Amino acid sequence: MATFLTADRLLKALRDEGLTVVEHRSWRTNNRNHKGPVGPAHGVMIHHTVTSGTASSVELCYNGHSALPGPLCHGVIAKDGTVYLVGHGRTNHAGLGDDDVLQAVIAEKALPPDNEANTDGNRHFYGFEAVNLGDGKDPWPAEQLLAIERAAAAVCRAHDWSERSVIGHLEWQPGKIDPRGFGMDWMRGRIGDRLGGEPERPPVEPPKPTYEPFPGAAFFKVGRNSPVITAMGKRLVAEGCGRYQVGPGPAWSEADRKSYAAWQRKCGYSGDAADGIPGKTSWDRLKVPNV
């Protein structure tokens, strides 16, 4: 039997699947756990909000309304594909549904008709509300459909479930029509394809290069032997300021001084300020890589 993911694990699973996730207010402690048992977790349920506008939809799903206290789901999926986490634990999204459907989800097999409302779904399902009027006319942008696919796949991947663990509200509770505008068999196909491969993780920024700090003017003197001097010389050559007969080496030399003087002049210095002995300002501009 599966235990619902911790807040941290849920957040990580969604982000690892390539989703942009916003943590809305105190979502980690926003739940209805005092109203009934939570778990075991058996699946993911997809809904539409019957609202428009991201901010108002997120607030509604976080707070609920007079007839149905919040949270109304675990995550709200906006038109642009952003997922707003609004609850964790038991949430008011599934209501009573068909026990035969639940057994099919657990067994990961084809769903029977939902003709009974005798089983507590809030206890067993993660819920995602997608912002849509549900009138059959409000469009489903590609970014939003992809986010639904990714969110469901993220939870399934974390629990080692197949796409058969994902259902629509209309497949659970008699009389419900959500999500209206796309077929759940079609969406399960997309989720299954995604689960067959590695998650599309968000791009990771390459680490910013780090540079040698200015070692002080006294460092640059006859007899100094250091890989920092070699690295400096290579940067001077790259800047077109190299005055070397052979490649830069680790020993401070007159060629290093002349090369650095050329760099100082390139930086706008002249006279005694371009004497070839590095100063902090020109050194920082040269950006000598760490060695």
Q: Tens digit of pLDDT for each residue in 8-37?
A: 999 999 999 999 999 999 999 999 999 999
Q: What is the mean pLDDT of residues 55-68?
A: 96
User: Tell me, what's the pLDDT at 246?
Assistant: 86
* C-alpha to C-alpha distance for 77 and 51, rounded to whole angstroms: 12
The reported pTM is 0.70
Task: Kindly list the domain boundaries of the chain, sorted by start residue.
Answer: 7-195, 217-286
Residue 160 confidence (pLDDT) above 80: yes
Question: Alpha-carbon torsion 104, 108, 113, 117, what sign?
Answer: positive
Q: Dig out the tokens for 245 from the structure.
A: 């007969």
First-to-last C-alpha distance (Å) of the chain: 53
Instruction: Tell me which CATH homologous superfamily contains domain 7-195.
Output: Peptidoglycan recognition protein-like (3.40.80.10)
Specify the pLDDT at position 96: 98
Strand, coil or helix: what is 167? Answer: strand
Q: Which two tokens stand for residue 173?
A: 């509770």
pLDDT value at residue 291: 81
pLDDT at 205: 64
Distance CA 187, CA 148 (A): 8
How many residues are given for the chain? 291
Exposed/middle/buried for residue 156 (C-beta within 10 Å: 0-12, 13-18, 19+): buried
Mean pLDDT of 131-156: 97
What 8-state DSSP symbol labels residue 267? T
221/215 Cα distance (integer angstroms): 12
